[in-house]
Amino acid sequence: MDEEEMPITKISVYTPLIYVTIMIGALVVFSIKYRQKKLKELTSRKPFFDRNIAKEMYFELVNADEKPNEQVLKAALIRRGAECIKRTLKLKEFTPFMNVLYHKGSISDDLWERFQTAQKVEEIEIQELVQETEKYKKGWVSKFLPLLQEVCLNEALAKKYNGLKDKKVDLLHEWGIKVNDDGTYVFPNQTPHKQTATVK
């Protein structure tokens, strides 16, 4: 059988180079656009927690024209750390519920991603805190981190205790109970229980 001669088409040496360049160019443009989109999504996403006032204050004080006393800066750093511990504890508390809810499809992808971003943010925050602590005193960091938890929990306790007075006023108002000058109560419609029992 006679073999038919295949026609040979000559192409320029630049053709594969142009092809590869176009492919790489398209990939680079896609990658840039994709990253920009992701970054835009990340910055426009509502954060999981409210604004971190303690952190904002620390940076405001550190970058102030008139440098505050070092004790003020250390106090601001402790406040920033305590806020970080508070958020980390909350995230740890939420993790099992968030996992279950996400796997059951009860929460949106958006909330799940916000939650995961918050976890990463707090991890980075702890690393930054460690670096900042070393600026004030070398070796302080090992003692600094446990103190943050004490500060965070003591602040929460003080807040709860300080809210007692308002809570009492709110409850009496809600229930329509008035307090006489001698401290006795005027009840709206009921005769209260006469037993003045105490706990022994």
Partner 1 sequence: MAANLSYDPVTKHVSALDTSEGYIEEVDALNRLTKDLVSSGLEVPENGEPSKQQTAMIQKLVNSAMDAMKRRAYAEAIKNITVAIDAASRRKRWEAFQVQLQELIGFLQLRTDAYMLSAKYADALVDADLLLLMTALTAENFLRKGIALLNLGRYDEARVVFERGLCFHEGNDKLVQHLAVSKKLIAEENGDAV
Q: Which residues bind partner 1 (CB under 8 A)?
A: 50-51, 53-54, 56-57, 60-61, 63-66, 68-69, 71-72, 74-76, 78-79, 136-137, 140, 143-144, 146-147, 149-151, 153-155, 157-158, 160-161, 164, 167-168, 171-172, 175, 177, 179, 183-185, 187, 190-193, 195-199
Q: How far is the CB of 21 from partner 1 (least distance, A)?
A: 49
Q: At what angle do helices 70-103 and 141-162 cross, to 10 degrees?
A: 80
Indicate the residue among 105 and 146 with the shorter CB distance to partner 1: 146
* Residue (32 or 172) nearer to partner 1, CB: 172
Helices (H), the chain: 14-44, 53-62, 70-103, 109-136, 141-162, 164-175
The smaller minimum CB distance to partner 1, of residues 57 and 107, is found at 57
Residue closer to partner 1, measured from CB, 28 or 169: 169
In three-state secondary structure terms, 179 is strand
State the nearest-atom distance from the C-beta of 140 to partner 1, in Å: 5
Residue 120 is which amino acid? Answer: K
Q: Which is nearer to partner 1, 119 or 149 (CB)?
A: 149
Residue 79's CB is within 10 A of a number of other CB atoms, namely: 19
Stretch (H or E) spanning 185: strand 185-186
- Within a 10 A sphere around the Cβ of 118, how many other Cβ atoms? 18
Q: How far is the CB of 141 from partner 1 (least distance, A)?
A: 10
Q: How far is the CB of 197 from partner 1 (least distance, A)?
A: 5
- State the Cα–Cα distance between residues 31 and 33, nearest whole angstrom: 6
Q: Which is nearer to partner 1, 75 or 121 (CB)?
A: 75
Helix (H) or strand (E) holding 178: strand 178-179
Report in angstroms how near the CB of residue 92 gets to partner 1 at its nearest.
17
Smallest gap, in angstroms, from Cβ of residue 164 to partner 1?
5
What is the sign, positive or negative, of the torsion defined by CA atoms of 18, 23, 29, 35? negative
Angle between helices 109-136 and 141-162 (to 10 degrees): 120
Partner residues linked to 186 by β-bridges: 178
